[in-house]
């Protein structure tokens, strides 16, 4: 593993104490609870974020509810125009926002740019809300009787995003909710709140009516208070399975809608007829891209038959060559994890794998980056001889850690996937159409990749996720239209 440094870019911008955005205005929180936002590469404090007070949370919910009536009566075509403007502003600020993602989250600049591109695509897709919300009419269901189905917004919704995609994840939900006629509250992660704050500066420039889109900084206290608030109709969540399960349960207790995208443990099945060089290239991106901090990351490489001998050495050799460093250095291929605390959690998994008897054939704990003493860097880590019942084979690690498991055939590989409690993604590399077809039919995951290392969906398609990867009947993106609206059936006859 090679370290890089860029001493000309070591110093971080300080963005100050961040404010809430409520009722179309920037509001300084009165909270005395303040957290530091740290650049994980440099270790420098780059912002301070408040944990909003109970009164501030209640005020935001009241504001959003008051704005709802006028906003729902605004025609969908008019609502969509605001998002055309937002998309244009995001394009104008593309590089600036990408660099902020690097500074607060630790991605490489190219990874941050990729995130921004996908975020803009979500906004663009939501501009089609006049079509996405179309109902339908059945004429003459009986003599002189017409049946009509219309879709209407419900009220106030809020978002609890994960830290790993500070621009993309909130924009996978908010534009659809608001374009559908609801009002909204975003609660950014306290680890990465700057990107959303800057996006809200653009939202302010767009000129949405006051109260339609709001932002509250804070931690679990904001979530609890909004779930308990009678004015709030539902919540969207992206994060870990334990938290997703808790939010889903609490939302149900308070008669609210909830869509909770949770954890993952994605299996990468390599068949004997796979193209080894292309497979290894895809594995590097899948297992180690974004530091392994994404729900679509590869986690377990399941080698079928004798492909292990062809694959393992090349995978380790290629991973060793990845360049670690600050994401603003164009030579960097792998940035730091989001924080020293998160790195410590990942290291605990590595230590557990060693205790369980897995063979550590590449140890990322030894990684150092010259000129960047902050200890959030972790190099690619690879375990061999991983058994399906080991903790590292079953729990989400959320770091650049790959596990290699050997099986004799596709049936055994599919059984491992089926027995895992997560159902986010599974991938197969093969030259056989028969194997690919059998895999996509039998695998128990919501996202399937065939010779694709990261089975990322598009803005116009829904997110996938089965088993303990998802709580709720409706996923994100385009399927959110159903989540954010209520279908009303109208049966009429005129005399």
Residue with structure tokens 């007829």?
273
User: By mean pLDDT, which of 11-20, 179-188, 329-338, 406-415 is the weakest?
Assistant: 11-20
> What pLDDT, on a 0 to 100 scale, did the predictor assign at position 5?
44
pLDDT of 311-326, one tens digit each?
999 999 999 999 999 9
pLDDT band, residue 3 (cuts 50/70/90): low
CA 179 to mean position of chain CA atoms:
21
CA 427 – CA 441 distance, rounded (Å): 12
Percent pLDDT > 70 in the chain is 98
Instruction: Say if residue 308's pLDDT is above 50.
Output: yes
pLDDT of 339-354, one tens digit each?
999 999 999 999 999 9
Q: Is 127 a catalytic residue?
A: no
Q: How many residues does the chain have?
A: 495
| CATH 3.40.309.10-classified regions of the chain | 266-458
> What pLDDT, on a 0 to 100 scale, did the predictor assign at position 8?
40
> What pLDDT, on a 0 to 100 scale, did the predictor assign at position 367?
85
What is the rounded average pLDDT of the residues 327-345? 97
Structure tokens that stand for 273 in this block: 């007829």
Instruction: Say if residue 365's pLDDT is above 50.
Output: yes
Structure tokens that stand for 186 in this block: 């975003």
Residue with structure tokens 């009419």?
137
Name the CATH architecture for the domain at 10-262+469-492. 3-Layer(aba) Sandwich (3.40)
Instruction: Say if residue 366's pLDDT is above 70.
Output: yes
Structure tokens that stand for 174 in this block: 């908010």
CATH number of 266-458: 3.40.309.10
Residues of the chain by 3-state class (helix, strand, coil), percent to 5: 40, 25, 35
Instruction: Say if residue 206's pLDDT is above 80.
Output: yes
| CATH 3.40.605.10-classified regions of the chain | 10-262+469-492
Q: Which residue has the higher pLDDT, 495 or 244?
A: 244
Instruction: Say if residue 267's pLDDT is above 90.
Output: yes
> What pLDDT, on a 0 to 100 scale, did the predictor assign at position 41?
96
**Cα-based distances in Å from 285 to 3, 86, 143:** 18, 31, 61
pLDDT of 471-489, one tens digit each?
998 888 768 889 999 999 9
Phi then psi for residue 403, to 5 deg, are -115, 135
What is the rounded average pLDDT of the residues 92-112? 98
Catalytic residue among 290, 295, 312, 403: 295
Q: Are 324 and 367 in contact (CB under 8 A)?
A: yes
What is the rounded average pLDDT of the residues 29-51? 97
Residue 102 CB partners (closer than 8 Å, separation 6+): 108, 109, 112, 326, 327, 328, 335
What is the rounded average pLDDT of the residues 246-257? 98
pLDDT band, residue 389 (cuts 50/70/90): very high
pLDDT band, residue 327 (cuts 50/70/90): very high
Q: Which residue has the higher pLDDT, 371 or 234?
A: 234
DSSP structure string for 325-379: S-TTSTT-SB---S-HHHHHHHHHHHHHHHHHT-EEEE-GGG---TT---TT---
Q: Which one, of 210, 242, 181, lies nearest residue 480 by Cα? A: 181
Instruction: Say if residue 4's pLDDT is above 70.
Output: no
CA 69 – CA 243 distance, rounded (Å): 32
CA 136 – CA 134 distance, rounded (Å): 7
CA 403 – CA 291 distance, rounded (Å): 15
pLDDT of 53-89, one tens digit each?
999 999 999 999 999 999 999 999 999 999 999 999 9
pLDDT averaged over the chain?
95
**What is the model's pTM?**
0.96
């Amino acid at each position: 593993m090679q370290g890089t440094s860029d001493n000309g870019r070591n110093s971080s911008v300080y963005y100050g104490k961040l404010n809430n955005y409520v009722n179309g205005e920037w509001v300084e929180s009165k909270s005395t609870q303040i957290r530091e936002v740290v650049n994980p590469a440099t270790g420098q404090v780059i912002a301070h974020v408040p944990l909003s007070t109970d009164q501030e949370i209640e005020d935001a919910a009241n504001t959003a509810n008051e704005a709802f009536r006028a906003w729902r009566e605004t025609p969908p075509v008019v609502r969509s125009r605001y998002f055309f403007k937002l998309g244009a502003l995001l394009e104008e600020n593309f590089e600036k926002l990408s660099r902020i993602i690097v500074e607060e989250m630790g991605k490489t600049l190219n990874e941050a740019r990729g995130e921004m591109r996908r975020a803009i695509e979500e906004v663009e897709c939501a501009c089609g809300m006049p079509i996405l919300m179309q109902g339908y009419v059945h004429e003459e269901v009986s003599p002189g009787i017409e049946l009509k189905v219309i879709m209407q917004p419900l009220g106030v919704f809020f978002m609890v995003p994960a830290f790993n995609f500070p621009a993309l994840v909130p924009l996978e939900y908010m534009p659809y909710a608001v374009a559908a006629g609801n009002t909204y509250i975003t609660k950014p992660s306290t680890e990465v709140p700057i990107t959303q704050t800057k996006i809200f500066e653009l939202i302010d420039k767009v000129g949405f009516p006051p109260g339609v889109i709001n932002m509250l900084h804070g931690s679990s206290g904001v979530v609890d208070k909004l779930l308990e608030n009678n004015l709030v109709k539902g919540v969207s969540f992206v994060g870990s399975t334990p938290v997703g399960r808790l939010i889903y349960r609490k939302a149900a207790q308070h008669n609210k809608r909830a869509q909770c995208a949770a954890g993952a443990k994605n299996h990468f099945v390599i068949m004997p007829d796979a193209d080894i060089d292309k497979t290894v290239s895809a594995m590097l991106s899948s297992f180690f891209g974004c530091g392994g901090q994404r729900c679509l990351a590869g986690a377990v490489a399941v080698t079928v038959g004798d492909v292990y001998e062809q694959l393992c050495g090349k995978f380790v050799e290629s991973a060793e060559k990845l360049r670690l460093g600050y994401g603003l250095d164009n030579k960097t291929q792998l940035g730091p994890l989001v924080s020293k605390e998160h790195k410590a959690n990942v290291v605990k998994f590595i230590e557990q794998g060693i205790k369980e008897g897995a063979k550590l054939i590449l140890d990322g704990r030894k990684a150092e980056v010259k000129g960047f003493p902050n200890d959030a860097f972790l190099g690619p880590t690879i375990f061999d001889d991983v058994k399906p019942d080991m903790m590292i084979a079953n729990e989400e690690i959320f770091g650049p850690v790959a596990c290699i498991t050997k099986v004799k055939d596709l049936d055994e590989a599919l059984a491992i996937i089926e027995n895992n409690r997560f159902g986010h993604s599974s991938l197969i590399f093969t030259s056989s159409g028969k194997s690919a077809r059998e895999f996509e039919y039998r695998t128990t995951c919501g996202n399937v990749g065939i010779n694709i290392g990261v089975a990322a969906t598009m803005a116009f398609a829904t997110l996938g996720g089965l088993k303990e990867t998802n709580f709720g009947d409706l996923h994100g993106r385009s399927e959110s239209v159903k989540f954010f609206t209520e279908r009303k059936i109208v049966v009429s006859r005129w005399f």
